A and B are shown apart, each in its own frame.
Chain A
Amino acid sequence: MKIKSLIGALTLGLAAVSVNAQQIEVTITNLTHGIYFTPFVVGAHDADFHVFQVGQAASTELTAQAEGGDIVGVSGLLDDVQAVVVENPAGGLLAPAASATLEMDTGTNEYLSLTSMLLPTNDGFAGLDAWQIPSTAGTYWIHVNAYDAGTEANDEIINGGGAPGTPGIPAAPGMDAGTGATGVTTEETNNTVHIHRGAVGDDSLTDGKSDLDNRIHRWLNPVLRVRVVVQ
């Protein structure tokens, strides 16, 4: 029975090659004015998997990426479900206005997800959750929002703290942030993945409650534009 169904699946697979195995090109553009994105994890997977879902608690793997930019965990989650994974297409940080392009053969996977941390934030990330890849060849555009992982209080203190459970922001890659902040808040009201309310910042680089610059380190949704070319 098992062999028979395997043969059936193989036959179907051969017949459906032109439909299922898709070569796609994905271009990610940073739409923000002053926010950097840590290395992206991009995965093509099946309908049952989610890297994150709004209104639900972030996984420990996503927490590690959203708080510190660590992609090992999220990439592993995708590997566990036999996803096609591309890591770090920008070869490091994606600066404001910059783009990164990758190509992937999605195989039989019909859904696309990606995640990356916003710097400088405590646990802000941009994410695409299981976008259904069209079967029709063409060019598609997606706008991606900034989420708050809900795992760390947005104190806006830059102290190098990137490990899960460690307060603070790892770094401000634009080298345009301050020091000496006392902290915006110690509370996180919504402990699930939700839309990020934005940074507070202040106008002092040496003290005040935030190390962020209230003129530079702010954004409104969407924060990324993703172009998908289905070939």
Chain B
Amino acid sequence: MKLFNKHFLITMIAMISIGSQLTGCDGSSSGTPEVVPPPLPVAFTFEVEVINLTNFQPLSPVALIAHREGNIWTVGESSSDELELLAEGGDNSLIISSNFAPLNASGEAPIGPAGRETISITVFDSIDGLYLSSATMLVNTNDAFTGFNRLDVSGFEVGQSQALMTPAYDAGTEANSEAEGTIPGPADGGEGLNVARDDVDFVSLHNGVVTSDFGLTSSILNESHRFDNPVAKIIVTRVE
């Protein structure tokens, strides 16, 4: 707010200066009037590179938000409907909606094993008190996701970056049945969101997938879908 006022003040000064020059110009020897362009808004751009470290868990299109209040999730608390949609169905549309987070960006496509994608987000005027948060689903699961929550970027200088190794979380909104028809990823092609909450209904770290190779005979998953933490490397860099 403070910086916004300063910005407004600079704009006003620029306008006054143009005005006085035009007034002072008598059209003779004082040369062409110098036109002072209004100052461009100050832009702060962050790039977020997500690298998939799993063997066979594609990551759904990444949700990235810039915010000052709130969380995408809180461990131990119930998932929001926005997170449930992402964690069960790989659909980030509610998290990146303007109601949930006015400043947001989305990955272009799922990130396969060994894949990576860089997403950028630009904030104008100020990064005072600014946080970045991000979430993406491990799509060959019932409701596992990874990401980072409330990374304080207010002190980031241009060129500064921070690498995060992120674990798998369980949204707690859908039982980890691993049953055919319940997993939206390519291992199954089953259902995404189911609004029924038939699990613990709080966010925790994920306890891993069991798979049919480890005795869960009704699992559509096999040993190739297992994962250990961390499941992603995420590098946040301020580039402007």
A contacts, CB < 8 Å to B: 54-55, 145-146, 148, 150, 184-185, 187, 189-192, 194-198, 200, 220-221
Q: State whether A55 touches B223 (Cβ < 8 A).
A: no
Q: Provided the pairs A54-B233, A55-B233, A200-B213 are in contact, do residues A191 and B54 lie with their beta carbons within 8 angstroms?
A: no
Which of B55, B113, B214, B230 is within 8 Å of A145, CB to CB?
Answer: B230
17 A-B contacts (beta carbon < 8 Å): A55-B51, A55-B53, A55-B114, A145-B165, A146-B228, A150-B114, A187-B224, A190-B52, A190-B55, A190-B56, A194-B54, A194-B113, A195-B228, A195-B229, A197-B223, A220-B229, A221-B228
Which of B114, B165, B223, B228 is within 8 Å of A190, CB to CB?
Answer: B114
Q: State whether B55 touches A189 (Cβ < 8 A).
A: yes
With a cutoff of 8 Å between Cβ atoms, the chain B residues found around residue A190 in the complex are 52, 54-56, 113-114
Q: Chain B nearest CB: distance from A115 CB in Å?
A: 17
Q: State whether B54 touches A185 (Cβ < 8 A).
A: no
Q: State whether A196 touches B213 (Cβ < 8 A).
A: no
B contacts, CB < 8 Å to A: 51-56, 113-116, 165, 213-214, 223-224, 226-231, 233
With a cutoff of 8 Å between Cβ atoms, the chain A residues found around residue B233 in the complex are 54-55
Q: State whether A220 touches B228 (Cβ < 8 A).
A: yes
Q: State whether B114 touches A197 (Cβ < 8 A).
A: no
Question: Which residue of chain A is the closest to B211 with respect to CB atoms?
Answer: A200
Which of B114, B165, B226 is within 8 Å of A198, CB to CB?
Answer: B226
With a cutoff of 8 Å between Cβ atoms, the chain A residues found around residue B54 in the complex are 190, 194-195, 197
- The CA of A191 and the CA of B116, in the complex, are separated in Å by 13
- The CA of A219 and the CA of B230, in the complex, are separated in Å by 14
- The CA of A19 and the CA of B227, in the complex, are separated in Å by 41
Question: Which residue of chain A is the closest to B111 with respect to CB atoms?
Answer: A55
- The CA of A33 and the CA of B227, in the complex, are separated in Å by 19
Q: Chain A nearest CB: distance from B217 CB in Å?
A: 15
With a cutoff of 8 Å between Cβ atoms, the chain A residues found around residue B113 in the complex are 189-190, 194
Q: State whether B224 touches A55 (Cβ < 8 A).
A: no
- The CA of A207 and the CA of B223, in the complex, are separated in Å by 18
- The CA of A196 and the CA of B226, in the complex, are separated in Å by 9
Q: State whether A189 touches B53 (Cβ < 8 A).
A: no
Q: State whether B229 touches A189 (Cβ < 8 A).
A: no
- The CA of A146 and the CA of B2, in the complex, are separated in Å by 48
- The CA of A197 and the CA of B53, in the complex, are separated in Å by 10
Question: Which residue of chain A is the closest to B114 with respect to CB atoms?
Answer: A192
Q: Provided the pairs A55-B52, A190-B55, A190-B113 are in contact, do residues A197 and B226 lie with their beta carbons within 8 angstroms?
A: yes
With a cutoff of 8 Å between Cβ atoms, the chain B residues found around residue A200 in the complex are 213-214, 223
